[in-house]
C-alpha cells in the first residue's frame, strides 16, 4: 500500500507515475478529498472528546463539592451523542479511504520503460543459443502424450480443462526438476521452507492479491481461507506484524508449493500444454532486504533464476517489464523467458520483482535502521522456476527426431542416471 502522507504531499508526482499504470488522476483526487474529510472528522471528534473530558472533570468536582451538575450532565449527554455520530461517520470514511488506497498499484521505479503493455518491455540480455533442428520440432504436449508421460485427457476428465496427470518418467522428471532447483538455491543461501498451502484473507491482503484480485484465486466456500496462487503469499507473510532483527537482513527463503489459479480472463490462451494450468508446481524465491540493498538483491535473484536455466542448458532472455505490463505490487520486474522451439519464441518462466516497501506496509513488516528507528523492509519475490514450464521447455529443447527426449546432464543424478526417455520405456 502506498503511504497516504506521500500521496498528500506529492499529488502531482503520484498522479503522473500512476498514470503510467492506468490509474486516472480523478481517482487520486477522490482519494485525497476523502482523506481530507477523514482528517476533518477526526479533528472534530477529538475536539469534542477533549471537551467531554474537561467537563467530566468539572462535573466530578461539582459532585465532590455537593453542587448541582444537572445542566452540565445534560449537555455532556448531547456531546456524547455528537461524538458517537462523528465516530460512525469517521469509521465509514476511513473504510472508503482504506479501500481506495488498497486498490492502487505500486509506484513504478523511475528507471523502467513506460508503456501500456508488453510491447514496451525492454530486453536486457540473451543467454544461450536456440538449437537448430534438422526436423520439425513438436510441441511439448504432443511429445509428452506420445511418450505416455503426460495425460491431459484424463486430467480433464477428472478435474476439467487445464489439469494434467504426469506419469512414470514424466512424474519423475517433474520431481527431478524441483529437487534440483531447491538444491541449487540452497547453495545460494536460501532457506528452504514448507509453508501452508491455504491462507486467510489478511495474508492475501498483505501481498496485494486482496481486495482487487479475488476473481483470480480459489476460495474455500464459507470460510476465510484461500488456496495459494503462489508461495510468495505465505513466504512474504512469514514476518507479518513483526520487526525483523536488523542483523538478520537480508533474509532469503525458497519453497516448492503447488499454485492454484482460476486463470480468470485467460479464455482461449494457452489452452493446450503445461503453460497455463489451474494447478502447477513452482519453486519460489522471496527476500526481505534493507531499502538501500534491495535493487542489488533483485539483480542477484534474477541471476539465481537464470542460473537454473543455464545449468539445464535452456536458452533464455531477460526483459524489464514496462509500467503497464508489471504486476500490481511490483516497482520493477525482470521477466525471464525460456526459448520454446515449437512456438519459435520465448515464453515467461520466471518473474523477479522488487516490491520495495509496498507489501511491507500492507503486512506491517519492519526493521530498525542504524538510528534505531523503525522502517519498512523491502520485499522481493521471483520464480526459481515455474516447474511445469521448465518441464515443457526441456521436452521441446531436448527432443529427438525419434520422439525420445534426452535428459539434461544436471538432472540425471535425480533420474537414477537415466539419459533418455523413450517410447519403449515410459515407466519410471
Is 276 annotated in the active site?
yes
- Which is nearest to 109 in space by CA: 365, 349, 380? 380
Distance of alpha carbon 274 from alpha carbon 262, whole angstroms: 15
Which residue is catalytic, options 240, 261, 322, 362? 261
Is 348 annotated in the active site?
yes
Strand order in the sheet with 218-219: 198-199, 226-227, 218-219
Which residue is catalytic, options 38, 353, 389, 396? 389
Assess contact for 59 and 11: CB atoms under 8 A: no
Residue 415 C-alpha cell reads as 533420474
Binding site per annotation, positions for L-serine? 230-232, 261, 284, 381, 383
- Which is nearest to 262 in space by CA: 228, 313, 303? 228
3-state secondary structure of 350: strand
Torsion of CA 163, 164, 165, 166, to 10 degrees: -130
Residue 392 C-alpha cell reads as 515443457
Binding site per annotation, positions? 230-232, 261-263, 284, 348-351, 381, 383
- Which is nearest to 145 in space by CA: 337, 342, 426, 428? 426
Is 175 annotated in the active site?
no
Is 389 annotated in the active site?
yes
Residue 76 C-alpha cell reads as 455532556
| Phi, psi dihedrals of residue 89, rounded to the nearest 5° | -65, -40
Residue 244 C-alpha cell reads as 525483523
Which residue is catalytic, options 322, 351, 353, 404? 351
Distance of alpha carbon 411 from alpha carbon 184, whole angstroms: 12
Report the DSSP beta bridge partners of residue 243. 366
Distance of alpha carbon 317 from alpha carbon 128, whole angstroms: 8
HSE of 154, CA atoms in CB hemisphere, 13 A: 8
Binding site per annotation, positions for ATP? 261-263, 348-351
CB contact burial 213-231 (16+ within 10 A = b; e otherwise): beeebeeeeeeebbbbbbb
Which residue is catalytic, options 276, 347, 361, 412? 276
Report the DSSP beta bridge partners of residue 350. 336
3-state secondary structure of 374: strand
Q: Active-site positions?
A: 261, 276, 348, 351, 389
Amino acid at each position: 500500500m502506498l503511504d497516504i502522507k506521500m500521496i498528500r504531499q506529492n499529488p502531482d508526482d503520484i498522479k503522473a507515475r500512476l498514470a503510467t499504470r492506468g490509474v486516472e488522476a480523478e481517482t487520486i483526487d477522490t482519494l485525497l478529498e476523502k482523506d481530507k474529510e477523514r482528517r476533518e472528522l477526526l479533528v472534530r471528534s477529538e475536539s469534542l472528546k477533549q471537551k467531554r473530558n474537561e467537563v467530566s472533570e468539572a462535573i466530578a468536582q461539582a459532585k465532590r463539592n455537593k453542587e448541582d451538575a444537572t445542566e452540565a450532565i445534560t449537555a455532556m449527554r448531547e456531546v456524547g451523542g455528537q461524538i458517537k455520530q462523528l465516530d460512525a461517520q469517521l469509521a465509514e470514511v476511513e473504510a472508503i479511504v482504506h479501500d481506495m488506497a488498497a486498490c492502487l498499484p505500486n509506484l513504478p521505479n523511475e528507471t523502467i520503460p513506460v508503456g501500456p503493455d508488453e510491447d514496451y518491455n525492454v530486453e536486457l540480455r540473451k543467454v544461450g543459443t536456440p538449437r537448430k533442428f534438422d526436423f520439425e520440432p513438436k510441441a511439448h504436449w504432443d511429445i509428452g502424450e506420445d511418450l505416455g508421460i503426460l495425460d491431459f485427457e484424463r486430467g480433464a476428465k477428472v478435474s476439467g480443462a487445464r489439469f494434467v496427470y504426469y506419469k512414470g518418467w514424466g512424474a519423475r522428471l517433474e520431481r527431478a526438476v524441483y529437487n534440483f532447483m531447491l538444491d541449487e538455491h540452497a547453495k545460494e543461501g536460501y532457506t528452504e521452507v514448507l509453508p501452508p498451502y491455504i491462507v486467510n484473507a489478511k495474508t492475501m491482503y498483505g501481498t496485494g492479491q486482496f481486495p482487487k484480485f479475488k476473481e483470480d484465486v480459489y476460495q474455500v466456500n464459507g470460510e476465510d481461507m484461500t488456496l495459494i496462487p503462489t508461495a510468495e503469499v505465505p513466504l512474504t507473510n512469514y514476518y507479518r506484524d513483526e520487526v525483523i532483527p536488523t542483523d538478520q537482513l537480508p533474509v532469503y527463503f525458497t519453497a516448492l508449493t503447488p499454485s492454484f489459479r482460476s486463470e480468470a480472463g485467460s479464455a482461449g490462451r494457452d489452452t493446450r500444454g503445461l503453460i497455463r494450468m489451474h494447478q502447477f508446481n513452482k519453486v519460489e524465491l522471496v527476500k526481505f532486504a534493507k531499502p538501500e540493498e534491495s535493487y542489488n538483491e533483485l539483480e542477484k535473484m534474477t541471476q539465481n533464476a537464470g542460473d537454473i536455466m543455464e545449468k539445464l542448458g535452456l536458452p533464455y532472455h531477460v526483459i524489464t517489464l514496462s509500467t503497464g505490463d508489471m504486476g500490481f505490487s511490483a516497482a520493477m520486474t525482470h521477466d525471464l523467458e525460456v526459448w520454446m522451439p515449437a512456438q519459435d519464441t520465448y515464453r515467461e518462466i520466471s518473474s523477479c520483482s522488487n516490491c520495495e516497501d509496498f507489501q511491507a506496509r500492507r503486512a506491517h513488516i519492519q526493521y530498525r535502521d542504524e538510528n534505531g528507528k523503525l522502517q519498512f523492509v523491502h520485499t522481493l519475490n521471483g520464480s526459481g522456476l515455474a516447474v511445469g514450464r521448465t518441464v515443457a521447455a526441456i521436452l521441446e529443447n531436448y527432443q529427438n527426431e525419434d520422439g525420445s527426449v534426452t535428459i539434461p546432464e544436471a538432472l540425471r543424478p535425480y533420474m537414477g542416471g537415466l539419459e533418455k526417455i523413450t517410447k519403449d520405456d515410459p515407466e519410471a
